[in-house]
Amino acid sequence: MSSPADAHTRYNQLRSTIGGVTVEGQAHSLSAWFVLALRLVIGIAFLYSGVEKVLGGFSAGGYLGNVAATNGNPLEGLFLWMSQTPWFVEFVNVAVPWGEVAIGLGIIVGLLTRLAAFFGAFMMLLFYFGNWDMAHGPINSDFMYMLVFLSVAAFGAGRILGLDQYVEQYEIDGQPLIERYPRLGLLLG
């Protein structure tokens, strides 16, 4: 039979207040393994997708010009502008494949994890609107990937077998980097 002390070592307390509303709960200690798995899976998926685009060639012009106009997208005008703006198409042709590679690598090794997860979530939000389709409801794989990136950021997944844990503890004049510069917590973790 387990004692209350055993329960304390098996669970981690979660508590957050936003807008005067507090939610709280307990996460099992095995949750760390699932957070690590989320980080690695989304990192590998993005790295693979980016490498595939880099090696196979990538052109965003047709996608930007056609997909949004054919599916009732609320951002149809924005996507049309993107497709008709040559410098923006060229920017996307570089930013998407290399961004996916950089995000994937950062997430996999757990370095600048929150920054990488933010940009991953942002890309998935754009893909969500680009692939807009309400035939099966508002939740699709792009939306779910966005939530995975946000979860990786929220849980500080880069501190679980990642490089962020070492970067944060790097000492400058005897003080850990994260204590000296607490705002780095927005990028690391």
**Phi, psi dihedrals of residue 135, rounded to the nearest 5°:** -60, -30
Indicate the pTM of the whole model.
Answer: 0.85
Q: Give the pLDDT band of residue 68 (cuts 50, 70, 90).
A: low
Rounding to the nearest 10 degrees, give the CA dihedral for residues 100, 104, 105, 106.
Answer: 100
Distance CA(94)–CA(50), nearest Å, equals 10
Query: What's the CA gap between 111 and 159, in Å, rounded?
Result: 9
Q: Which two tokens stand for residue 80?
A: 């049309």
Q: Where are the domains of the chain?
A: 30-186
Which pLDDT does position 11 carry in this prediction?
A: 66
| Range 129-145 burial, b when 16+ CB lie within 10 A, else e | bbbbeeeeeeebebeeb
Q: What is the pLDDT of residues 127-178, one digit of tens each?
A: 998 888 777 788 889 999 999 999 999 999 999 999 999 999 999 999 999 9
Query: Given CA atoms 126, 109, 48, 139 in this order, what sign does their dihedral have?
Result: negative
pLDDT of residue 135: 74
Read off the tokens for 46: 């993005």
Nearest to 102 by CA among 150, 28, 63, 50: 50
17-48, pLDDT tens digit by residue? 999 999 988 888 888 999 999 999 999 999 99
Kindly state the average pLDDT of the residues 45-59.
Answer: 95
Q: At what angle do helices 86-109 and 31-56 cross, to 10 degrees?
A: 140
Q: Is-contact 132 73, C-beta < 8 A?
A: yes
